[in-house]
Amino acid sequence: MSVDRPRPLVAGNWKMNGLKASAEVLDQIKAGYDDALKGRVDLAICPPATLVAAFAEKTAGSGIGIGGQDCHAKESGAYTGNIAAKMLKDGGAAYVIVGHSERRQYERETDADVRAKAEAAHRTGLIAIVCVGETKDEREAGRTLDVVRGQLKGSVPEGSNGGNLVVAYEPVWAIGTGLTPTAADVAEVHKVIRENLAGIVGPAEQAKVRILYGGSVKPSNAAELMGVADVDGALVGGASLVASDFLGIASAYRA
C-alpha cells in the first residue's frame, strides 16, 4: 500500500446471525484489535440490525466501526420490516452494506435500487459499502469484467468519494463455497474497478476509495489476497463470526 492510499479495512458481514450473547465475540475482536492491530488496519462489524446500537455502544472510541447490512432508500414511511439509513446512524452505525449479492439475488435488487440506497447512506453520513460481483455463469461466459463495470456504473452515486464510499468485489460463486479466484483473477478485477472509479469519482479521488475483496476469505489465504495490487482489505462473511478467524484475516496487516 503506497503512502497516499487509505488505511486498509477488514469488514465482517454477520448476515442473519447473532444474538445478544454474541457480544462476547465482539469483545474478543476488540481485545485482539487493541493488542496488535490498532493503527494498522480499520475494522468494521456489520451485525443484524437488532445488535447495531448495542455493538456501537461497546465499540465507541475503539476504532472499530459498526455497520448495517442494508438500508431503505427512503428516510421514513410505510415500509414495514425495513430500516432507514438514518435509523442506523441514530443507532451509532458508521457503515452500511448495499447491493450484496444475496440482496440482488433473493430480493431482486437492481443497480438502480443499490444506487438509491447508497445515496440514502450518503445523505445520512454513513459510508456505503457497495458490493459488485459476477455469478458463476457470467464468469464462465467471459463476462466478469463487463458485469462489474456495469454494476459500478449503475450502483455508485454521484458525489461518491473516498470518505463515503467503499467498493467490495465479491464473486458470487465464491461466497460461502470455499472456492476462491486466483490472485491473478482478483488483481484483474480490482484493476478494472480502480480504472472505472477514476471515471466515476475522478482520477484523484479514486485512489482514496478502498476496494475490498470478499468471497471465502480465511486466515490461510488472507495474506495472499490482501497482498494483491488494488486490494485494500476484505469483506468477510462466515469467518467474521469467529473472533480468532476474523483477527487472523486482519493480521495480514500486522507487519
Angstrom distance (rounded) from CA 98 to CA 78: 21
Q: Is 170 a catalytic residue?
A: yes
76 near 87, Cβ under 8 Å? no
> Catalytic residue among 109, 119, 134, 170, which?
170
- β-partners of residue 10 are 43, 234
For 255, half-sphere exposure in the C-beta direction (CA atoms, 13 angstrom radius) is 4
Mean pLDDT confidence for 233-243: 97
Angstrom distance (rounded) from CA 70 to CA 103: 9
Closest alpha carbon to 87 in 50, 59, 116? 50
What value does the CA radius of gyration of the chain take, rounded to a whole number of Å? 17
- Helix or strand holding residue 249 (H, E): helix 243-250
Spell out the domains of the chain, with CATH numbers in brackets: 9-253 (3.20.20.70)
Angstrom distance (rounded) from CA 206 to CA 189: 15
Which residues contact residue 110 at a Cβ distance below 8 angstroms, ignoring those fewer than 6 apart?
Answer: 104, 154
Q: What is the dihedral of CA 178, 179, 180, 185, to 10 degrees?
A: -170
Which 8-state DSSP code applies to residue 36?
Answer: I
Determine the 3-state secondary structure of 181 from DSSP.
coil
Binned at pLDDT 50, 70 and 90, residue 3 comes out as: very low
> Catalytic residue among 72, 100, 122, 190, which?
100
Binned at pLDDT 50, 70 and 90, residue 179 comes out as: confident
Which pLDDT does position 255 carry in this prediction?
Answer: 64
Interhelix angle for 111-124 vs 144-155, to 10°?
40
Determine the 3-state secondary structure of 102 from DSSP.
helix
Mean pLDDT confidence for 136-165: 97
Angstrom distance (rounded) from CA 234 to CA 211: 8
215 near 175, Cβ under 8 Å? yes
- Helix or strand holding residue 236 (H, E): strand 233-236
Mean pLDDT confidence for 44-64: 97
pTM greater than the 0.95 cutoff: yes
Percentage of the chain exceeding pLDDT 90? 94
Which 8-state DSSP code applies to residue 175?
Answer: T
